[in-house]
Amino acid sequence: MNHLLQQIENYKQEINNCAITNADEVEAFRIKYLGTKGIVKSIMGFMKDVPNEQKKEAGQLLNEFKLFVEAKYESLKAVSSNNQDNTSTIDITLPGSPTLVGSRHPINLVRNKIVSIFQRLGFAIAEGPEIEDDWHNFGAMNLPEDHPARDMQDTFYIHQNPAWLLRTHTSSVQARVMENQKPPIRVICPGRVYRNETISARAHCFFHQVEGLYIDEKVSFADLKQTLYFFVQEMFGKDVKVRFRPSYFPFTEPSAEMDISCLICNNNGCNVCKHTGWVEILGSGMVHPKVLENFGIDSNKYTGFAFGMGVERICQLKYRVNDLRLYSQNDVRFLKQFTSVV
C-alpha cells in the first residue's frame, strides 16, 4: 500500500513538471497515462495485490489519481489548441479561398437592357429559329428571289436542303408572329443573326439584333419616332440627340435610319463617327402594306412600324468597344471588365 502511495506521488510530480505545448505532445501524454496500456491502467492492476481491509482506501486513492490525470489532460488540450498558431501548419485566420463569380457577357447585359426598356412600353418578347426557311427570312418580308436587296444580307445555306438558311435578321421572327397572331401586335425580337461577311473589326459572320414590331389601328410615323426617342434616352441619357435619315428597306415604306449624336466625341467628330458627329444605330420604317397582306392583315385597317438594331453597335457606344471580334474570342481579360449592370 505504501509502495502504491509512493508511486502515485511520483507520477503526480512528474505530471506537474511536464512541459507540454503542442497537440502531438498532448496525445503522447494521453497514450502514456490514459491509454489502454497506460500508467493509470497498470496502477489499477495493483489493486488485486492490496489486502482486503485496505482495498477501500486504495480504491479511493487510485480513483483520485485517475481524476487528476484526466483533469490535467483536459487542461493540456485546451492550452495546446490556443497555441495552435505557432505549431500547426494550418493558419485558421487566413481568409478562405474565394468562389469565383463570373460576369455577364456584355452582349447579354446590353440586350437585357434594350429588352427591358421596350418591355416597359408594353412590348412582349418573341423568339424564333436561327435556321429559317427562305419565306420567313426573305420572301414574306417583300424580298422575292432575284431581288437585288437580297445582296445586302447574303447568308449561309444548308447543304442538305438549300431551302434552309441561317437567318440574316430577326425580322423572320416578326414574320412568324404576324403568321400566328392577330393585331394589335407589339413584340421585340432579340436574337443571333448570320451574314456571309469577311470577319474584321467592323464585320462578323454573326451578330445580335433586337428588332421590334408594332401593328394596330392608327399607328403612325410619329409613334415610331417617339418610341425610338424614348429608347435612346433611356439607353444613353437625356442629352443624346437623334436624327432620322431617309433609307430603303424592302419591308418598310417609308424607311429611315436613325442616328444619335456621337457619345464618344460629343458630336464634335472622331473616328467612331467618321468625323460627322453622328452614329447610325438602327433601321426603321412603317411596315410595307405588302408584308401585312402576306399575313392576311388588312392594310387599310391596320398600320405598323418596325425597327431593328445591332446589339454590338449599342454595346460599342455604351462601352467603347471598337473591335467586334472581342465579343466572341472569350478572352477573360476582356469579359471580366463587365461586372456591372448597365
Residues that bind ligand PHE (CB under 6 A): 169, 171, 211, 249, 252, 283-285, 306-308
* Rounded Cα–Cα distance for residues 77 and 100 (Å): 37
CB of 128 to ligand PHE, least distance (A): 13
Asked if 218 and 303 count as a contact pair (C-beta separation under 8 A), the reply is yes
If the CB atoms of residues 254 and 277 are measured against ligand PHE, the closer one turns out to be 254
* Rounded Cα–Cα distance for residues 102 and 106 (Å): 12
DSSP string, 181-197: -PSSEEEEEEEEEE---
If the CB atoms of residues 72 and 313 are measured against ligand PHE, the closer one turns out to be 313
CB of 284 to ligand PHE, least distance (A): 5
The residue with its CB nearest to ligand PHE is: 308
CB of 255 to ligand PHE, least distance (A): 6
CB of 306 to ligand PHE, least distance (A): 4
Length of the chain: 342
DSSP string, 34-69: ISTTSHHHHHHGGGGGS-GGGHHHHHHHHHHHHHHH
CB of 333 to ligand PHE, least distance (A): 31
CB of 112 to ligand PHE, least distance (A): 20
If the CB atoms of residues 284 and 303 are measured against ligand PHE, the closer one turns out to be 284
If the CB atoms of residues 291 and 317 are measured against ligand PHE, the closer one turns out to be 291
If the CB atoms of residues 58 and 189 are measured against ligand PHE, the closer one turns out to be 189
Partnered with residue 131 across adjacent β-strands are 166
If the CB atoms of residues 80 and 252 are measured against ligand PHE, the closer one turns out to be 252
Assign 19 to helix, strand or coil. coil
* Cβ atoms < 10 Å from Cβ of 24: 11
* Rounded Cα–Cα distance for residues 287 and 221 (Å): 10
